[in-house]
Structure 1
Amino acid sequence: MIDFKGFRARFAPPLLSFGLALAPTAQAAETLKVAQIDPVSGPLAPIGDSSTRHLRAKFDHINAAGGMNGQMLELVVMDSEGNPEKAQVLLRQAVDSGIRYITQGTSSAVGAALGDAVDKYNRRNPEKPVMLLDHTNTDPALTGELCSYWRFSFSPRVPTRTEALLRYVSTQGRVKKLFLLNPDYSLGVAVETSVKAALPRLTKGVEIVGTERVPLGKVRDYAPYVAKIRASGADGIVTSLFGADAIGLMKAANESGWNGFVYAYTAGGVGLPTALGALGKERLVWVNDFMPSGELAGEMKYNDEMLANQKTDFYQMQQTYGYDLLAEAARRAKSNDVTKVAKQLDSGVTTQSMLGEVSVRGADHQAVVPLFVGIYSDKVKRGLENTPYSYRTVARYEAKDVTPASTCKMKRPG
C-alpha cells in the first residue's frame, strides 16, 4: 500500500521479540506456517494490525474447511516497523526457521526489498524456494519492472484503479477541474502519473488544474493546501492520502467551505469513519476491489464473524480472495510444496469468491478482480466502527474492462 520513508531499524533480539519461538518443532509438521512481515508497532501499526486480523479470519475459514491439503495454516506475525532493512532480517529468520510462505502488505518499499531478497535466496536455494504473497500493496512497479516469478500480488494496482475511477468520473459530469494532491513517495507518484496519462483518453472536458506532493505524516494543517485548491478553481481532488493526512484534508476542506468531490485511492483505512463522522458524506469517493457496506452475498455473515473473533469490521477483501486463490492452487497441485503451488498459480488459477470469479494472471502474477467505486454515505446496509457510515457502491467495473496489459518481463526458473 504505502512506501513510508524515514524509519530507522531498531532491531529487537531475534525471535524472542515476537513472543514465540520460530525454530522448527513437532507442531511445524502439523501446521503450514505463513510469516506476515508487517508493522505491528510505530506509526503504521494500525494498518499492519488490520491486515493481521483479516489474515487470521481467512486462515480460520480455510482451517475450518480442512486446511490446505489437510494441513492447518498458522500465521506468524513479525514486526517490520515499516523498515525495509529490518524486514529483510526478519525474512532470513523466518526462512532459517523453515517457513516458506511469506505475506506482506502496507509498504511498497518493504515489498520491493523483500521481493529482491526472496529472488536472491531462491536463486541460491532452488531446491527449497520461498513464495512472497503481497496482500495490499498497489505500486505498479511490483508487478511491472520489479515483477518476480515468486511474488503473487492480490490488490489491484494503481493503473487499474485509475481506469475504473476515471471511467466513473466521465459518466457523472460533475467535475471539470481536478487537483492532484498526493504523498511524495512511490504511491503518490504512481497515482499522479497514471491519472495524467489516462485522463485525456477516458474523459472529455476534464482538465488538471494543479498538482501537489505532500510530505506524508508531516503536515499539521491542510488549510494552505486547500487554499491552493480553491484558488485553482478545482471542483474535484484526486488523492492517495490516508490516515491522519486524509482526515486533515477533509476537515480543512470542510472548514473552508469547499464543497467539491474528493476521489480517493486509500479511503478505507481503519479509524477513518470514526474520525470523519459526517465529513465528506456523499462527496468522498473511493475506488477499490470492495465496498464494505453489506452488499455482497455472504459479507454480513463474514463481518459478524470478524467482529466476534477478530474485534474488527470486515474491511479488506484482498486477504479473502487472495488465499482462496492460494488454496485452489494447492488443491490442484495436491501439495503445499512452494515449487508445485507456484507452478499452478503461474498457469493462471481461477476460483470463486465473494466478488464472483477471480483469477491470477500468469503474465505478472497479479490477481484479476472487479473494481468498485463507492461514495461515503449513511445509506448503507452496514456502517463501520459503530457509525452509520460506509461506502455505497455506485459503479462496478469488470476486470477485463479495467485491467491494463501486463508490462512484466517474467523470468521463470529453469
Structure 2
Amino acid sequence: MNMHRFIAVPAALLLACAAHADPVKIAVLETLSGPQASTGQTFRAGVRYAIDKMNAAGGWNGEPVQLVEYDNQGGPAGASDKLKAAIADGVQIVVQGASSAIGGQITEDVRKHNLRNPGKEIVYINVGAEALELTGEKCNFHHFRLTGNAQVRTKVLVQGMKQAKALGTKVYAINQNYSWGQDMESAIVANAAAGGYQVVEKTLHDVNKIQDFSPYIAKISASGAQTVLTGNWSNDLLLMMKAAKAAGLKAAFGTVFLDQPGNIRNAGDTAEGHFIVHVFNAEAAGAEGARFVADYTAKTGHAPVFVEPQTAFGLDMVADALKRTKPVGGKLDVNAFARAMETARIKTPMGEARMRAEDHQILLPLVVSTVSKDARYKVDDTDLGFKPVKVYSADEAAMPVQANCKMQRPS
C-alpha cells in the first residue's frame, strides 16, 4: 500500500486494519551446509539483498516482508521436510535455486499441497534450478523460473563463442548425470549444426562425488577436442578447473557457471580465453551495472557474483508482482499474486526481463563473456575478469514454450 494512502485513513481505522494485517512471509529453502553450501549461501545472499530492498521501499501492505531461512541439507528429502516446516510457519512464497533435483522435489510438493489445501496455496520462486522439465512436463501455475535453462544458455553460449571465433570444430561435452546435466548434453548436441562443430565425446558423471577430475581431463585431451562445453557447477566445476590447470589443458571451456567464486583462481592463467554465458556482466551493463555493483557491495560487503545477480533480479520481479497484489482481508491472496507474476516485467541493468505466462519461464537478457586481463572488473583477487563479448536481448535468447507444458490454472 502507498504511504500517502495511510495518511488519508482515520487513525482508528488504521489501527483496526493493522491488527488484522498479516505480513508476507518469504522462505529461502536452500543448501546451507555440506559440499554445495557455498552455492546455497550465494543464493541466500541475493535473496537477503532483495528482501532488504523490498522493505526499504515500504514492504507489502504497510508491513515489512519477513524472510525465514531453512537449510535443505543438499537433498530432495531434506527439502521436502523443510518445506513442510515452512508451510507450518505460515510461509506463502518459497525461494530455492541450488540443484534441479531439489527444485523438482519442491515443485511437486508445492503442487500437491496446493491441490489438497485450496485457499492456503504457496508459490515456488525458482531462482536457479534450470532443468527443462520444470517449465515442461512439470510446469505448474504455482512455479515460476526466474533464471535461464539449458536450451537458452547453450544457444547463446554457442552463438557468442562462434562470433568470437573461439568455437572449435571438435567439442567435448562433460556434464553432471542428472536432469540439468542431461539437458545440457542434449542442448550441446542440438546446437552442433548451428555452431559448426562435431561432438567428439560426451561424458555424464556423478554429481559432487568426484574428488579428482584428472582422468576426465586426460580423456578430453586424448579426444583432440578444441572446446569443452559444460554445465557443471559447485565442486564439480571448481575441481575440474583445478585439474585442467594441473594438466595444462589447452582446450577452451564454454561454461554456465565459471563466475562461481574460486573457479578463476583454481584455473589460473589457463582460464584466459574460457567463456561463460551469464545473466549479468557489470562492464557490459555500463553505468547501470556500476550502480548495481556499488549498491550491492554497500549493502552486503561484497560485489555481486555468480548466481547473486539473477537471484536479486528475480526477487525484483516478485516485488513488482507484490506491488500489484492488493490484500484480501489483510492477507496475501497467493493465487492473485501468481496471476500478477504472470505479467511481471522489470528493467535489469542488462535490459528488460519479463515473465512468459504460458510456461512461467522468465525471458531475460543473457551475456556471453570471455576471461581476460583486459576486463574492467577483476575476480578472485587475480588480474583476470570477464570481458563481455555480446549481450543478447530477452527475445534473442528465448526458446519456444515446450509442447509438454500443459498449464492448469485455478478457476
Q: 1:306 aligns with which of 296, 303, 315?
A: 296
Q: 1:188 aligned to 2:188?
A: no
Q: 1:343 aligns with which of 339, 342, 356?
A: 339
Structure-1 residue corresponding to 2:200: 209
- 1:2-401 paired onto structure 2 within 5 Å: 29=21, 31-174=23-166, 175-200=168-193, 202-204=194-196, 206-281=197-272, 283-293=273-283, 295-315=285-305, 316-335=308-327, 336-346=332-342, 348-401=343-396
Distance in 1 between residues matched to 2:20 and 2:77, nearest whole Å: 27
Structure-2 residue corresponding to 1:12: none
Q: Deviations over 1:175-212 (max 9, x none)?
A: 11001111222221110011112222x123x1111111
Say whether the 8 Å CA contact 1:139–1:158 is kept in structure 2.
Answer: yes
Corresponding pairs, count: 385
CA 1:274 to 1:76, structure 2 compared with 1: closer, same or farther past 3 Å? farther
SS at the partner of 1:35?
strand
Q: Which residue identity does 1:198 align to in structure 2?
A: N
Instruction: Tell me the CA shift for residue 147 of structure 1.
Output: 0.7
SS at the partner of 1:317?
helix
Instruction: Tell me the CA shift for residue 292 of structure 1.
Output: 4.8
CA 1:89 to 1:254, structure 2 compared with 1: closer, same or farther past 3 Å? closer
CA 1:68 to 1:390, structure 2 compared with 1: closer, same or farther past 3 Å? farther
Say whether the 8 Å CA contact 1:295–1:381 is kept in structure 2.
Answer: no
SS at the partner of 2:270?
coil
SS at the partner of 1:137?
coil
TM-score, normalisation: structure 1: 0.87
SS at the partner of 2:24?
strand
Distance in 2 between residues matched to 1:177 and 1:83, nearest whole Å: 35
Q: 1:405 aligns with which of 395, 400, 404?
A: 400
Structure-1 residue corresponding to 2:13: none
Say whether the 8 Å CA contact 2:377–2:386 is kept in structure 1.
Answer: no
Distance in 1 between residues matched to 2:37 and 2:395, nearest whole Å: 35
Distance in 2 between residues matched to 1:135 and 1:121, nearest whole Å: 21
Q: Deviations over 1:245-298 (max 9, x none)?
A: 3233333333434322100122122332343343312x2100122225574433
Q: Which residue identity does 1:240 align to in structure 2?
A: G
- For structure 2, the 5+ residue unaligned runs are 1-17
- Computed over aligned residues only, the root mean square deviation of the Cα atoms, in angstroms, reads 2.2
- For structure 1, the 5+ residue unaligned runs are 1-25
**Bigger Cα displacement from structure 2, 312-321 vs 51-60:** 312-321
Percent of pairs identical after alignment?
Answer: 29
Distance in 2 between residues matched to 1:131 and 1:224, nearest whole Å: 43
SS at the partner of 2:121?
coil
Q: Deviations over 1:21-63 (max 9, x none)?
A: xxxxx99956422111111111111111111111111111121
Distance in 2 between residues matched to 1:264 and 1:370, nearest whole Å: 17
Say whether the 8 Å CA contact 1:251–1:279 is kept in structure 2.
Answer: no
Q: Which residue identity does 1:349 align to in structure 2?
A: A
Say whether the 8 Å CA contact 2:95–2:125 is kept in structure 1.
Answer: yes
Instruction: Tell me the CA shift for residue 373 of structure 1.
Output: 0.5
Distance in 1 between residues matched to 2:381 and 2:49, nearest whole Å: 20
Distance in 2 between residues matched to 1:131 and 1:279, nearest whole Å: 43
Q: Which residue identity does 1:155 align to in structure 2?
A: T
Say whether the 8 Å CA contact 1:239–1:265 is kept in structure 2.
Answer: yes
Distance in 1 between residues matched to 2:66 and 2:347, nearest whole Å: 23
Distance in 2 between residues matched to 1:184 and 1:64, nearest whole Å: 42
CA 1:203 to 1:298, structure 2 compared with 1: closer, same or farther past 3 Å? closer
Structure with the higher helix share, 1 or 2: 2
SS at the partner of 2:44?
helix
Instruction: Tell me the CA shift for residue 231 of structure 1.
Output: 1.9
TM-score, normalisation: structure 2: 0.87
Say whether the 8 Å CA contact 2:245–2:266 is kept in structure 1.
Answer: no
